[in-house]
């Protein structure tokens, strides 16, 4: 099957970012499903890859956002039928919740953090550096679902990346570009803006390199 990617976008300012740049360069067809416009999941055409992006809502807000229920159902169905699934931030929490793991409020993490690859990490994470930078913007965390494997951890928020069957969840953002970072930072307190602005030139190039590795592995 020729790769075709559908990205579930929950708010306008959380796009595919560097993943989109990669897919444009490689001429890989993709499309957005903008849930903030549709408020429902339409019939999904035959596709090979699904990406669930971030958003400010909680996976537990099913009464306010009923499509969260259908996203979880789709994740379970897609994993069962062999489609590759990638979840970023809220998307990772959706994967965890879809398989019965608890998602709950925890520490607010904002900006660049250094994460640690698990020594027994498998798949693409086996090729990651032992320590690597990643951008964070979240206030909830998740437990690893039964049958899942922790791939990367943080010093404060432990569960940062995991696999569950053929689904991969990332609590952090590898997809960011300098434009997205500026957009996300503009409403933060001045000291946080300054810290992010000073650290981004040091960390963004490596984050982009790791995102390209992730994209190549996901599409392959």
The candidate with the shortest Cα–Cα distance to 207, out of 180, 185, 177, 167, is 177
Could you list the pLDDT tens digit for every one of the 220 residues in the chain? 678 999 999 999 999 999 999 999 999 999 999 999 999 998 877 788 999 999 999 999 999 999 999 999 999 999 888 899 999 999 999 999 999 999 999 999 999 999 999 999 999 999 999 999 999 999 999 999 999 999 999 999 999 999 999 999 999 999 999 999 999 999 999 999 999 999 999 999 999 999 999 999 999 8
- The CATH number assigned to the domain with range 5-219 reads 3.40.50.880
For the chain, how far is it from start to end, CA to CA, in angstroms?
A: 11
pLDDT of residue 54: 98
Interatomic CA distance for residues 92 and 44, integer angstroms: 20
Whole-structure pTM value:
0.97
Closest CA relative to residue 88, chosen from 178, 169, 151: 169
Any idea where the domains of the chain sit in the sequence? 5-219
- Token pair 């897919």 is at which residue? 23
Q: What is the pLDDT at residue 1? A: 63
From the number of C-beta atoms within 10 Å of its C-beta (0-12, 13-18, 19+), residue 4 rates as: middle
């Amino acid at each position: 099957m020729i790769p075709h990617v559908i990205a579930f976008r929950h708010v306008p300012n959380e796009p595919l970012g560097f993943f989109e740049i990669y897919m444009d360069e490689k001429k890989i067809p993709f499309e957005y499903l903008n849930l903030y416009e549709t408020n429902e999941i339409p019939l999904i055409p035959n596709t090979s890859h699904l990406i669930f992006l971030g958003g400010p809502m909680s996976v537990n807000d099913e009464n306010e956002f009923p499509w969260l229920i259908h996203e979880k159902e789709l994740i379970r169905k897609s994993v069962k039928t062999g489609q590759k699934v990638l979840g970023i931030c809220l998307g990772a929490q959706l994967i965890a919740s879809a398989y019965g793991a608890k998602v709950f409020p925890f520490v607010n993490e904002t900006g660049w953090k250094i994460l640690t690859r698990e020594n027994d990490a498998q798949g693409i994470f086996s090729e990651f550096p032992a320590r690597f930078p990643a951008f964070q913007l979240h206030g909830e965390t998740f437990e690893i679902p039964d049958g899942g494997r922790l791939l990367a951890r943080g010093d404060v928020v432990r569960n940062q990346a995991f696999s569950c069957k053929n689904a991969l969840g990332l609590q952090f953002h590898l997809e960011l570009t300098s434009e997205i970072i500026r957009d996300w930072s503009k409403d933060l307190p001045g000291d946080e803006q300054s810290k992010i602005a000073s650290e981004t030139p040091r960390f963004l190039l490596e984050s982009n390199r790791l995102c390209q590795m992730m994209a190549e592995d996901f599409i392959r």
